[in-house]
Structure 1
Amino acid sequence: MSKASIPVFKLYGEPLQWPTPDLLHCESIPARSRLHDWEIEPHRHADLCQLLFLYEGQAEIEVEGQVRRLDQAAIQVVPALCVHGFRFSSDVDGYVVTLAAPLVSLLHTQLAGAPAALAQVGTYLAGDHRTYLYSLFSALQQEYQQGQPGRDLQLRSLINLLVVWISRQCLQHHGQGLAVARGREYLERFNKLVEQQFRQQPSVEALAYEVGVSVAHLNSICRELAGQSALQIIHQRLLLEAKRELVYTSLSIKQLADSLGFADPAYFSRFFRRLTGKAPSDFRYQAPQSPT
């Protein structure tokens, strides 16, 4: 490679541009942030992607005006052109890897079919992979600083492992996002059906069939997004209507029970007492807006 063809990049705080034949740069977080009183002011890179790995300590990460505070091991992806800044605790430990655009493009090509994880802002908690990731970043920095035979191949191998991990996390987050979106659609459909049919007291099985999911899946969605089972949602809608009619109408308990699909007043009264701790007649009597 001729000197003229060496790509030129610049890192935050460098007084001069950084000419290097490498398509990546690796350093510890303290190495640079200590020079700037543990704070890197917001800035951007035109054609550099950064991977910040927080291993210990705390970090306040600002990307495009959004601030996130981390106090556990995680990788923060900062794509090219994103305005970003960092503030660290003085006991911070971790690494920053900077990737040049040609390398980012190559990595995305190699991971064809996976999300372009390095082209989007992402925060990925390390969890049980904390030690594994630390070993990868540590090995990357050690290899970067040395001039051993096969250095470039080793650097590419290590960065490949890191990017595969990030891509898998990105894919998992993407899948979870789609699942949540679908779940909200199912819950909305279920709620509409409950509103239309609650007076007939439809079974959960019948509503799940109309929604297009299994009973188990419907209950899972309801618990996750509404905090109640499907049957509890139906019962709460019945209870709400019972309270409204007790307060705002003069229907007898028998008439009210009939209108809500109960086989007899006694069954309705047991249902109402179980959910409220009161008999329907006591609730009506004690309600402040009860008709005179």
Structure 2
Amino acid sequence: MQQKSHTIPLNSFPNDFNLGILIKKNAVRNLELDQISQAHRDDFYLFFILEEGNGIFEIDFQQHRLGPSSVMIIQPYQVHRGIAMDYSTFSVLMISVENLNSDYINALKDIDTIAPINIDRETCTILSETVDICLKLNERKHEKLYPALMKDSCNTIAALIISQYLVQSKKSDAQSRAEHITKQFNALLDKDFIINKQPKIYAEKLKISTAYLNECIKKATGKPVTYHIQQRIVLEAKRLLYHSSKSVKEIAAALGYDDYPYFSRLFSKVTGMTALTFRNKNIE
């Protein structure tokens, strides 16, 4: 059994690539996944294009199988790991938050679930050709506008991939008021769930009443605000239980709970099992 670290490892952008952009294309028969087989987080965006072959990745407790002509996005701080990769031709784009176009970051917020998706062969070919162009530009470090060339060309790859997600998510361009507020709430929740656990606080930040916030969230998702707050807290607790050696009491404190018994009851209520039972059932 692999030894767990006390905290979930966080990978920052490689020091050798101070540009904040790294792009690679590989063709392998059987890829060694030692470097990414341990669950970890990244503080950058990762865009993955699988042209040929098969792979298995795990993102926040969900295993995803990738086949030919598929793409995957892993957002900053998602817990993930690689499990298998065989007979594959694939490309990887790593890009820092600062270098990814802010419009594309906002577009990602409109996608309900970012799991790997299949794309048509023509689009996959265009993506592959765009990667080839980026790799050629990457070699032209003598260009006066080299950083801009890399940033703009690699953002084109990101835009193409995000576009495929938007098409398949079947989101309407004209968002309803409820959807718009839900989007804002989710962004705040992801940022503040450790310190803010009351619907009233989120409503105040959005400058609306608590009742109206709850109405909008229920209309858009079918669940009340409290449900989403609890789910986000429990997701982070599961990450730490599964991928770190922190005690349940330490995890409760890390998630902003001085009242350890209250946290334990909340976890049991949401998951139907105690935190220790969850950990024991999911020993790697």
Q: TM-score, normalised by structure 1?
A: 0.47
Q: Which has the higher contact order (CA 8 A, sep 6+)?
A: 2
Which structure is larger by alpha-carbon Rg, 1 or 2?
1
Length-normalised TM-score, structure 2:
0.48
